[in-house]
Amino acid sequence: MKRILVTGACGSIGEELVSKLIRDGFKVCAFDNSEDRLFHLNKKFYKHKNSENLRIFLGDIRDKDRLFQAMQGIEEIYHCAALKHVELSEYNPFEALKTNVIGTNNLIEVAQENKVKKILFTSSDKAVNPSSMMGTTKLLGEKLAISANNYTGSDDIRFGCVRFGNVWNTNGSVGPIFKNQINLNKDLTLTNKLMSRFFFTKEEAVNLCINACNSLIGGEIFVSDMGVAKLGDIADEFNKYNKKIKIKEIGAHAGEKLYEELFTEIEGERAYRYKGMYVIIPENIDKKSTRYIKLLKTYKKGKPVSIALRSDSPLTKRVNIKKLVKVLMHE
């Protein structure tokens, strides 16, 4: 039975991961810095048949000693702990740096000391050509995780990344904000009607993590084949549930851009479609190594991408906005 550590276990994705892993019978160490949310997470599984497999760890990834304690006997890590809000990170840059970069480096070093087998870093499409502090720290986190494969001294430990778009119906995301405004009879406020984003569900995000970890050779960046929606179209769909209110544009927040990217043109040259997702092969790895040869042999079976993928591109698929909004409004 695998013993798995989930950092940021009380976040939207972390909690979903913990739930799935517990249901699947794994031993899970849930690591988070929120005492209250850890309490409720523990309570959630109190009467579950696999409740004895859950271990609660209160701590912060900025604290290497606590990470070391939590990592005893761990085989795999899903690293979800991060500061993720663009505007808050923009005005608290040193805090974003401490958590998203130094915290990630702490985790990498401690994982190596404890001979963890697989470490998956959860990143964001905002790490691609970043315009924000949050995106920049996520890019640095990716670089640290990918580069860690070069100095492990062994193929027994593997580091990789997944890139998320906007996860629908999570804390601070546009869906719950619009739903709350509708219920309070307040106007729907959005930054720019033309702003486009990649969206997928929490279930799809968790499946990406699980599939990426199972496939991980070392150094890959895994990206889900997500759909795209414009904020204006999402607002229009929500507006149908309360036609008494209006839609108001308030302008972009600090660090935001009109579109997001799943990977750059340069990365596209090293990207392949593989088992329903995109996989980007690392460039900073010894081309003669057994790991690199295995990467090519595995992923070149997929279809090469060769281009960048932006949310404002006509090549992207569209999200079923009507379905997503309907499910959220009837929760």
- Write out the E strands in the chain: 3-7, 27-32, 54-58, 76-79, 118-124, 158-164, 166-167, 188-190, 196-200, 221-224, 227-230, 247-249, 261-263, 271-274, 277-280, 303-304, 309-310
Candidates 192, 198, 200, 259; CA nearest to 231 is 192
CA 309 vs. chain centroid, Å, equals: 18
Query: Is 117 marked active-site?
Result: no
For helices 321-329 and 231-239, angle between their N-to-C axes, nearest 10 degrees:
50
CA distances from 147 to 105, 143, 154, 284 (A): 11, 6, 13, 7
Residue of 126, 202, 246, 301 marked active site: 126
Q: How many whole angstroms separate alpha carbon 138 and alpha carbon 197?
A: 17
Nearby residues of 176 by Cβ (< 8 Å), 6 or more positions away: 169, 170, 328
In one-letter notation, the amino acid at residue 249 is: E
Q: Is 268 strand, coil or helix?
A: helix
Catalytically annotated residues:
126
